[in-house]
Amino acid sequence: MTIRPLVIIPDSKLRLISEPVKEITSEIRQLADDMLETMYDAPGVGLAAIQIGIPVRMVTMDVSKSEDERQPMVLINPEILWTSEEKRIYEEGCLSIPEYYEEVERPDRVRFRYMDLQGETVEQDADGLLATCVQHEIDHLNGVLFIDYLSKLKRDRVMTKFKKAARREAGA
Ligand code: K1U
Ligand code: ZN
């Protein structure tokens, strides 16, 4: 298992539409291990493959409360099947936008489908943090970031800050 470097805004890779996984190979299993390791190290409750630079439709998540009782999830080709009319506001963060948190409104409950590492199709209902997280992660697979739901003013402010940081790093 390897901790991989995270892709940070304004890297244009984060705007790519990720490709479906065609087959569960040893490379895919290795990628899942590396994503979990990278997510736990960050630490985060979710990670999409594009956040480590790989444009495939894979997500890892663990929204368990305790570090002693990890509940790792690996989602291959996940999709949202249904969203509730009721909305919920949650303060979101993103490992690709370090140390920036803002409130985002999304559907309160969702039903989603994915393939697990055994190749089984799973359908699951979610509410709370799991519902928020799975929507945030599937957005990553479609090149969407949580800052896209904020006002243009807030989005421009955060983009400018990270563009300046990237320029400083490139010049250093
Ligand atoms: O996809 C990502 O960038 C990961 C992101 C997922 C997420 C968080 C909150 C709401 C929606 C989606 C994170 O994990 S940010 C870090 C974070 O929320 C966290 C870190 C440590 C403990 C608990 C939460
Ligand atoms: Zn994110």
Closest CA to 79 of 145, 139, 129: 139
Give the single-character DSSP code of 32: H
| pLDDT tier, 59 (very low <50, low <70, confident <90, very high otherwise) | very high
Q: Is 67 helix (H, G, I), strand (E, B) or coil?
A: helix
Residue 136 CB–ligand 1 contact under 6 Å: yes
State residue 38's pLDDT score: 98
> Residue 56: pLDDT band by 50, 70, 90 thresholds?
very high
Residue carrying the six token digits 């209902």: 125
- Grade residue 168 by pLDDT with cuts at 50, 70 and 90: very high
**Is 90 exceeded by the pLDDT of residue 169?**
no
Instruction: Give the residue extent of every domain in the chain.
Output: 12-171
Catalytically active residues are 137
Residue 1 has pLDDT above 90, yes or no: no
Is the predicted pLDDT of residue 11 greater than 90, yes or no? yes
Q: What is the CA radius of gyration of the chain?
A: 16
Note the pLDDT tens digit of each residue in 80-115: 999 999 999 999 999 999 999 999 999 999 999 999
> Architecture of domain 12-171 in CATH?
Alpha-Beta Complex (3.90)
Q: What share of the chain is helix, strand, coil (3-state, %, to 5)?
A: 40, 30, 35
Q: Is 104 in the pocket of ligand 1 (CB under 6 A)?
A: no
- Is pTM beyond 0.95? Reply is yes
Identify which ligand lies nearest to the alpha carbon of 95: 1
